[in-house]
Amino acid sequence: MGMKCNNCGKGVMYGHNVSHSKRRTRKIFKPNLHTARILINGSFMRMKLCTKCLRMFKEATKIEKSTLVEVTEAPTTPVATV
């Protein structure tokens, strides 16, 4: 699977380090991924999530605990259309 969020698909980006003298060297920007056990459809799944998705899942479980409703699907981030 590699360096990719299982929920939103955020992955590796490429760019340059730029020094004071404007010399450019290649740089890889990696996503901040964490492995987490997420409860989906009554069973735990181990997923690699970026911190934004991890916060979203934690917020969903807070709401779930307060209303006592089980999550039936994994929440996904909305995709912007241009």
pLDDT, mean of residues 27-34: 95
Q: Tell me which of 4 and 2 has the higher pLDDT.
A: 4
Place of tokens 């699907």: 73
CA distance 75 to 69: 14
Q: Tell me which of 35 and 70 has the higher pLDDT.
A: 35
Q: What is the pTM of this model?
A: 0.65
pLDDT at 43: 87
List the domain boundaries for the chain.
Answer: 13-67
Judge contact between 36 and 57, C-beta under 8 A.
yes
Is the pLDDT at 48 greater than 70? The verdict is yes
pLDDT at 42: 83
pLDDT at 73: 62
